Structure 1
Amino acid sequence: MVVVRVLGGNGSGPDLAVQIAGRNPGSTEPPVLLVHGMGGDHTTWRRLSGALTAAGREVIAVDLRGHGRSGRAQRYRLNDFRDDLAAVLDSLDLDRVDVVGHSLGAHSALRLAMAQPDRVRRLLVEEPPPMPRDAADLAEAITPTSTLAERVRGLAMLAADPRPFLRFDRSMPEVVGVQFEQADPHWWDGLQAVLAPTLVISGGDRSFLPPRHLRSLSEALPRGEFATIDAGHSVHRDRPREFLAAATAYLTAP
């Protein structure tokens, strides 16, 4: 494994830390870009990264701005996270990748696939928070948050490894949360630009994101599929076997 640093945000953003594993020059498969959720870092993907590299895939796991070993930023707009992902691909001279994202990382991956659809071959988004469509969505208050159970499980992870939390810019949640409190029907229209087959994984009724909203998201995508793994918001963390099976099967499908 090797950690490299690239310049984010088209030259205007912070330095981004990227961990690359399983380089395989002879492979005809594109690399897999892994994008964590808010408050995490690339280490959340250890199981998936190990399984993919064992299968001969190159894996690129990024620390988003304000997370892990990446730099903190003056702003945290949703499109900034998208632009950072594009900057990683530019810096590594990658024309096309498969992408797996969780929560904020999944939302950022969707924005990347909307803006640069030719660069994403296949997409898996775990619990991606959608933008509110209208006043009804706003009234339902589906802004990214966490349940008590999620916080308890998060504390267990914190005790096991406090480094992601300690490195995290804790000014970010409020800044990002406010953006999810604005109705944006155009975001839903933009999903039509996503060319990649996309699997949307819901954590079921234990998640703060109602499954029906994520099913609607999958139906709005031209090549969307929907699956439920009853785990809450962090499916890959709390139901790792089921998530790993679903992710590896999807990423290796013909």
Structure 2
Amino acid sequence: MPTLALDAATLTYDDEGPRDGEATPLVFIHGWTANRHRWDHQMAHFAPGRRVIRLDLRGHGESTGSGARTIEDLADDVLALLDHLEVDRFIPVGHSMGGMIAQTIALAHPDRVDRMVLVNSISKMSYNRGRGLLMAASTLVPFKLFVAANIQRAFAPGYPREEIRAYIGASAATPREVVMTLYSAMRAFDVLDRVGEIRTPTLLVHGYHDVQLPVAQMLRMAKGYPDAVIRILDAGHELPVEKPAELTAALDWFVSPRD
């Protein structure tokens, strides 16, 4: 796999599809403790007809390194990769934390974002008192149990247990310092009052059964977007793998030319 060396990190990425097509490149950004293979279904669908790029964020998957303390730091990594690949204008497709990264890029560099897709993502993490206490307490348990508890609850009821165990194992392989630092970064992320500045067309796709980032929080965010389309699917927080074909169909409709 190709890699890009950055400060204290090496990013692993895939860059597929035709370079000379008229379609704007898609850039897939995974979520917290995940990796670029969350997007396997979407990559296979879009690569024959347009340029598609995905990466493992620093410290995730096959990328190395740490040092990212904020969502802005991760956004800088994504832009550094795209500059390296000489990609100017693109469509970010971000899942969960990846959607936070996409919003950060859209706010800082609106000229580079053709349109945007946020999958199971929000503009501000907020908890009621009970859930806030539960989340705070969860960080006090052993690291692997903390990761397992968060990944387990990310899937809608009925998702195969053996597949959930595989995702838990992959997430637990993410270095502890990366997991905990970026967990804090997500909790600190807040652009809710600024989403009205994002004028690019935006697709908000969310799982109805998402308990990690509940659909009500997405709808609160959606009220601020000037040009947003909402799709709610019968899934939990892990839409790219729970309902890959349905998510791909929604993406295909949104990024394809329409009259």
Shorter-chain TM-score bucket reads 0.7 to 0.9
Alpha-carbon shift at residue 197 of structure 1 (Å): 0.8
Indicate the RMSD between aligned Cα atoms, in angstroms: 2.8
Match of 1:214 in 2: 218
Alignment of 1:37-52 (within 5 A): 37-52=31-46
Equivalent of residue 82 in structure 2, options 76, 83, 89: 89
1:76–1:176 CA contact under 8 A, matched in 2? yes
Residue-by-residue CA offset, 1:63-111 (whole Å, 9 max, x unaligned): 1011112112134322111111111111111110111111111111111
Partner of 1:139: 129
Is residue 2:29 matched to residue 1:24?
A: no
SS of match in other structure, 2:74: helix
Cα offset, 1:7, TM superposition: 3.6
* Alignment map for 1:30-179 (pairs within 5 Å): 30-54=24-48, 56-132=49-125, 137=127, 139=129, 141=131, 145-146=150-151, 148=153, 150=155, 156-157=162-163, 164-165=170-171, 167-179=173-185
Q: Deviations over 1:117-157 (max 9, x none)?
A: 11111111111143247xxx563647794554639959633
With the length of structure 2 as denominator, give the TM-score of the two structures.
0.82
Contact in 2 for aligned 1:199/1:218 (Cα 8 Å): no
Name the CA distance, whole Å, in 1 between partners of 2:26 and 2:68.
27
For normalisation by structure 1, the TM-score amounts to: 0.83
> Equivalent residue of 2:14, what SS?
strand
Contact between 1:147 and 1:207, CA under 8 Å: does it hold in 2? no
Equivalent position to 1:15, from 10, 17, 33 = 10
Q: Matched residue pairs, number?
A: 242
SS in 1 for 2:219: helix
> Percent of pairs identical after alignment?
24
Query: How far is the alpha carbon of 1:250 from its aligned partner?
Result: 1.0
- In structure 2, distance between residues paired with 1:222 and 1:31: 23
Task: Using the TM superposition, name which of 83-92 and 203-212 deviates more.
Answer: 203-212
Q: Is the 8 A contact 2:125 2:186 kept in 1?
A: yes
- Deviations, residues 25-60 of structure 1 (Å, cap 9, x unaligned): 2x1112110111122211111110111013x11110
- Flag structure 2 segments of 5+ consecutive residues without an equivalent: 136-146
Contact 1:117–1:193 (8 Å) recurs in 2: no
Q: Distance in 1 between matches of 2:8 and 2:107?
A: 21
1:158/1:165 contact within 8 Å kept? no
Whole-angstrom CA distance in 1 between matches of 2:92 and 2:78? 10
**CA offsets per residue over residues 14-33 of structure 1, 9 Å max, x none?**
121111111332x1112110
- Deviation at residue 159 of structure 1 after TM alignment: 5.6
Paired position in structure 1 for 2:2: 4
Distance in 2 between residues matched to 1:183 and 1:93, nearest whole Å = 29
8 Å Cα contact 2:153-2:211 kept in structure 1 = no
Structure 1 residues 115 and 13 mapped into 2: Cα distance closer, same or farther (>3 Å)? farther
Alignment partners' CA distance in 1, 2:188 and 2:54: 30
SS in structure 2 opposite 1:94?
coil
- Unaligned ranges ≥5, structure 1: none
User: Which amino acid is 1:81 matched to?
Assistant: L
Say which of 205, 209, 222 aligns to 1:201. 205
| 4+ residue runs over 3 A deviation | 137-149, 151-155, 157-167, 179-184
